[in-house]
Structure 1
Amino acid sequence: MTETRFSPTLHYLMALAAGVLTTLTAAPFTLWWLGPVAAGLMYAGLHRLTPGQAALKGWSYGLGLFGAGASWVYVSIHDYGYTGVPLALALTGLFVAGLALFFAVTLWLYRRLAGPRLTWLTFAGAWVLGEWLRTWLFTGFPWLLLGTAHVDSPLAPWAPVGGVYLLSLFTALTGSLGVEFLRRRWWTAAPIAALWLVPLALPSQWTTPTGEPLRVALLQGNLPQLIKWTPEGRREAANTYLALTRELSDEPDLVVWPEAALPMFEDEARPILERAQASLAPDTALLAGILQRDGEGLYYNSVIGLGNAEGEYRKTHLVPFGEYLPLENLLRGVIAFFDLPMPAMTPGPADQAPIEAAGTRLGNAICYEIIYADLVASRARNAEVLLTVSNDTWFGASIGPLQHLQMARLRALENGRPVVRATSNGVTAVIDAQGRVTARAPQFEVATLTGEVTPMAGHTPFNRTGSWPVWLLAALLVMPGLRLRGRDTGEG
């Protein structure tokens, strides 16, 4: 079948639509089957475009993806960043347009370097290498990776094998092979079937329970972000979390307060924390998200343990413009958004030991860190349960918190570890080692969520290696299709 030729403009519109479709694969929509469709729309006819046109197609995809899927950044800038509507829209547009450049670069390089053979393979490999670049360049932004949606799809059993990037690879490959199938290259049906049917033969669980289930209580204070750092907000936070702790009717093994639950430093909050701990049973562990400062004027976003807990964790991967200000000397004072009332954080050391709580080792990830698959895998290797605390108030009533929860679920599945997730106003949840939500608190309410998690021992293949085998595989898939000399033409 001869491939239909489209004008470049139609390609750009298709790419914009494909970006929106990719957003629909993620929470809260979870239409995971649209992922291969979106990848196929990006692959179709790509070899007929010039490198510049391919770059513009990639950029259009990024505009659709982040314009629809990361629009929550407007809430952070406008509602909580003291920024007017025109400037907030401009900054959000700049954010979206900048992130879209990752896809522009990926498809420009693909079209510049890929020859006419094995284009379906080269495309899938190049896509994953582009996601790798987006994960690490400029501190990284691995949000809305193509594979994330497949925590709920038949591809999910691949997650413990190779993580989110393997899911992205197989999604992109399904899309490119699907296009070839529509060109009546019937042989492509076999590899597509293999990608989707092999998971039926994979183990349903790679890790094993160790010890008795832990009874957990996760406290959600639902404090207004706009007053949180005022004297009134501090009093309300202290009263809310003290009351929620004292009202616990059962005797949980673990009580968790979310990220920066008390808007003050640990030395200021210590009397409040000790009063809360005194109201709990002696063998109960209390973990609290809190800000710390040391004698050298350094500040840390941390989790500390009290009672039947030992150790602390200091966040290592900080959020630009949220926890520190790049180019501070130039930007501070320009607009109110760059003068948020929070000191610049310092990253904690990379090799921190797990927190020991209620006889269980907890691997920690604070807020944004949970979206980094390899960072979480490194925390999970020496832990039996994963703990993440977050302040998702910054997202407002957008889809951001639901996307955040979905990524936490995938981290549980990748590592074969349950995840305990305590947030300021939702989504607070308990997730089992299969990535399933077993308990969940309502958003935007003061709530106490109780549940059980089973500590797990052992390792998934992904937990042992991280993502580098998939990145290497993606590079190997690209190499056979590279244009080695001259200017090749023809179909893939």
Structure 2
Amino acid sequence: MTQNRLFRIPALVAAGALQTLAFAPFHLWPAALASLGLVLLMCSARDAKALFRDGWFLGMGLFGSGASWVYVSINEYGMTAAPLAAIMTLLFAMGLALFPAIAFWCWGRLAGSHSTRSLWLFPAIWTLMDWVRGWLLTGFPWLYAGTAQVDGPLAGLAPVMGVHGITFITAATAALLIAAWQHWRGATRWVPIGLTAAALLPWLLAPLANLFEWTKPQGDPLSVAAVQGNISQHDKWDPEMLRKQIRIYRQLTEPLWGRDLILWPETALPATQGQASQVLDALESRAFDTETTLVTGIPWYGNSPHYPEPVFHNSLMTVGPGQGTYHKQRLVPFGEYVPLESLLRGTIEFLSLPMSVFQPGPQNQSPLQIADASSHPAICYEIAYADFVAQHAQSTGFLMTVSNDAWFGRSLGPFQHHQIARMRALETGRELLRGTNNGITSIVDREGRIRARAKHYERDVLRGEIQPMSGSTPFMATGSWPVVTLAAVMIVFGRQRRGTETA
């Protein structure tokens, strides 16, 4: 038993880490399928207590490798000593690993020791775990197996069923292939052949979905530009560097006036709208003279609905002929606000980061108006929420997102974040303009393909066009509810019932 456990633990951690290879920058999407297949081989038809441990070690492999970029944020930019940063990163992974641990415990309780029932329930359990992880305690909608398919054979299904639907198909494929392998030595070959055919069918049919055009061009393309200032995170909130940062962005922007839209990244102006009033006035005058809308990230301070006192928002505001200001709704814990602030604030420097006092903006905000098109923006982490983006993309022409991925350093984080943004473009049938401080700044078409991108980790300007679209994809109309409902139905009808045979 001890030897078996000594082998099982590293094997499960390795199986979890294998999924990380499915995502950017590796783009080895079969790794997700292989990972889930290994999980089923090791974990199918075990008791609930054992599966809780299995799920936890699997989660440690997945989040310990795939979310390792958290260490860079805490250590390099959070000014936390390396040993403490490593402990905090480990605790972060341990906490996230509880999601697969609890899900696997439920899997054991629902399936019992019946191997066929276990394989039937696995895709539903895995998908529901991902869905819950995306919203519980603000959510961590990252490292979904379906995201890796933005460059894979299942990409055509994203506008139909979204990232969770593709994750479900990936997990179901693994379960069917394992079931086929288990039946291969049976009395008849038709059962494993049928199971294998069922596993491969979605992968063969999914490319045909690309023939459907759920959205269509509306109006003329917009001439756009995104300015990438490549400001060091160490300098960004230094008051003595404020003038230099503004000068960099204005110099990079000067040749761009006359375009329909110029996009500056998240908190490109590291001062509130009141403190930066003179700069904003000068930019507005230039914008009106050239009929250009400038959209910039800025910390916004003032009276806001639902708050009795003036508050800070992480915001985007238009300058020039465009209209609208957007306040970020989905904030990052510890980065933009501190949970249990009265207890934690000041205990370590990481919990006192600059501008970690933001409040979430109100719901049902109006989209930004740019030329003859509109866009409901997403700031940084918000682009990871599939249903949030799909809901707000309705009645808008294109997607726009900004971020300051300098927090991630030279880690996996910026590449994963960009891949997630590409999946949102694919799900909504909308082109995407993404502006960041140091990369990855890009233009993505409605099929999730990169049309143009700026140089990474350099000061650069991206020029191009964005075609506004009209119409809705099926996913925009339904969100994740069809696949969540399907998973729930599979559990209700496939679970072990009291008094039934479990062997």
TM-score range, shorter chain: over 0.9
Partner of 2:84: 87
Quick check: 1:238 aligned with 2:246?
Answer: yes
Q: Which amino acid aligns with 2:19?
A: T
Does structure 2 conserve the Cα–Cα contact (< 8 Å) formed by 1:299 and 1:343? no
| Contact persistence 2:117–2:495 (CA under 8 A) | no
Q: Do 1:8 and 1:53's aligned partners in 2 also have CA atoms closer than 8 Å?
A: no
Matches within 5 A, 1:82-121: 82-115=79-112, 116=114, 117-121=116-120
2:298 to 286, 290, 297: 290
Is 2:161 the partner of 1:148?
no
Q: Is residue 22–residue 35 contact of structure 1 (8 Å, CA) maintained in 2?
A: yes
Alignment of 1:405-420 (within 5 A): 405-420=418-433
Write the mapping of 1:50-449 to structure 2, written as runs, cut at 5 A.
Answer: 50-115=47-112, 116=114, 117-183=116-182, 184=184, 185-202=192-209, 203-248=211-256, 251-280=258-287, 281-295=289-303, 296-449=309-462
CA contact (8 A) 2:312 2:359 kept: yes
Name the SS of the counterpart of 1:64 in structure 2: helix
Q: Residue 3 of structure 1 corresponds to which residue in structure 2? A: none
AA at the equivalent of 1:237: Q
For residues 90-138 of structure 1, the C-alpha deviation after alignment (integer angstroms, 9 at most, x for no partner) is: 0000001110110000111001111424332210011001011101111
Secondary structure of 1:217's partner? strand
CA–CA distance in structure 2, aligned partners of residues 191 and 316 of structure 1: 41
Identity %: 45
Structure 2 SS opposite 1:26: coil
Which letter does structure 1 place at the counterpart of 2:30?
Answer: W
Helix, strand or coil: the match of 2:223? strand
Structure 1 SS opposite 2:464: strand
Q: Closer, same or farther in 2 for the Cα pair 1:88/1:488, shift >3 Å? A: farther
Distance 2:90 2:500 in 1: 37
Does the CA-based 8 Å contact 2:246-2:269 persist in structure 1? yes
- Measure how far apart 1:226 and its partner are: 1.0
Alpha-carbon distance, 1:50 to partner? 2.1
Q: Does 1:485 align with 2:485?
A: no
Paired amino acid for 1:310: Q
Deviation per residue, 1:38-68 (Å, 9 max, x gap): 1111112423422121111111111111111
Letter aligned with residue 263 of structure 1: P
Gaps of 5+ in 1: 1-5
How far apart, CA to CA, are the structure 2 residues paired with 1:252 and 1:315? Answer: 26
1-structure distance, mates of 2:372, 2:221: 11
Deviation at 1:197, TM superposition (A): 1.4
> Are the aligned partners of 2:262 and 2:294 in contact in 1 as well (CA < 8 Å)?
yes
SS at 1:155 equivalent: helix
Match of 1:41 in 2: 38
TM-score, normalised relative to structure 2: 0.94
- Which consecutive unaligned segments of at least 5 residues does structure 2 have? 185-191, 304-308
- In the superposition, the TM-score normalised over structure 1's length comes to 0.96
User: Cα deviation per residue 1:430-474 (whole Å; 9 max; x = unaligned)?
Assistant: 111111110101111111100111101000000111111111111
Give secondary structure in 2 for the equivalent of 1:218. Answer: strand
